[in-house]
Amino acid sequence: MKQKSRVILALDITDHRKALDVVAHVEQYVDAVKINYPFVLGCGMEAVRELASNVDVICDFKVADIPNTNRLIVEQARKSGATGVICQAFPGKDSLVACINAAEGMDVFVVTEMSHPGADMFMSPVAEKMAQLAVDVGATGIIAPATRPEKIKALRKTIGNLKILAPGVGTQGGSASETIKAGADYVIVGRAIYESEDPGAVARKIGAEIKGVIQ
């Protein structure tokens, strides 16, 4: 994945035409497009393949099953032409290793602590352990919360130079520049971009804000 604007668009849109319109306005300002179940269930896997022929696509399937099922899911992500997939650490090492093996070189990002308030309940106490598991299995990077920059700083110490992708900027309250200053490599932004009047302008502005804090 390129590292130019350091902005990843979260394309959580269920209407195919609208999704393509947003991508057309935003693609020049983002390094990748992250798709999740709203896009896949609304638009179908064929739409993922079509998107992946134009831009780097990360399949945010939050893969969280037994090893064999994880393998089958990650294989489908890979066959769609995606360059990355997002997996959960909590099912354990064997499940995550199955994702890494099925990825066959595709980027694998491991969720540690999520960005919403409820992550405090079960995820926060074990986030460092999950980040260490990402290191141990040879993942590309982790997902860490832009809503808690101090947690990004702490997790960076655990993962060394693995990549950090941070959702939670904009609508969830996180700041793009503070997130990058805390040590994230990319911010993931959805609603603040695609629900705005001018998605291209917002994506460009977030990229410029990030540029302002990178040495």
Residues within the interface to ligand BMP (CB under 6 A): 10, 12, 36, 60, 114-115, 143, 145, 167-168, 170-172, 188-192
* Nearest-angstrom CA–CA distance, 118 and 112: 13
Question: For ligand BMP, which is the closer residue by CB, 137 or 203?
Answer: 203
Q: How far is the CB of 34 from ligand BMP (least distance, A)?
A: 6
Locate all alpha helices (DSSP H) within 80-126, ordered by sequence: 93-103, 119-122
**Catalytic site residue from 18, 62, 153, 181:** 62
Question: For ligand BMP, which is the closer residue by CB, 170 or 207?
Answer: 170
Residue nearest to ligand BMP (CB): 190
Question: Is 129 noted as a catalytic residue in this protein?
Answer: no
Q: How far is the CB of 113 from ligand BMP (least distance, A)?
A: 7
Q: How far is the CB of 27 from ligand BMP (least distance, A)?
A: 17
Q: How far is the CB of 145 from ligand BMP (least distance, A)?
A: 6
Nearest to 98 by CA among 117, 130, 75: 75
* Nearest-angstrom CA–CA distance, 47 and 163: 27
- Angle among Cα 9, 11, 13 to the nearest 5 degrees reads 155
Instruction: Please state the φ and ψ torsions of residue 204, each to the nearest 5 degrees.
Output: -65, -40
Q: How far is the CB of 215 from ligand BMP (least distance, A)?
A: 26
* Nearest-angstrom CA–CA distance, 192 and 212: 19
115: DSSP letter: S
Question: For ligand BMP, which is the closer residue by CB, 149 or 168?
Answer: 168
55: DSSP letter: S
Nearest to 109 by CA among 55, 66, 63: 63
Question: For ligand BMP, which is the closer residue by CB, 67 or 168?
Answer: 168
Question: For ligand BMP, which is the closer residue by CB, 49 or 62?
Answer: 62
Do residues 210 and 5 make contact, with C-beta atoms less than 8 angstroms apart? Answer: yes
The residues annotated as belonging to the active site are: 62
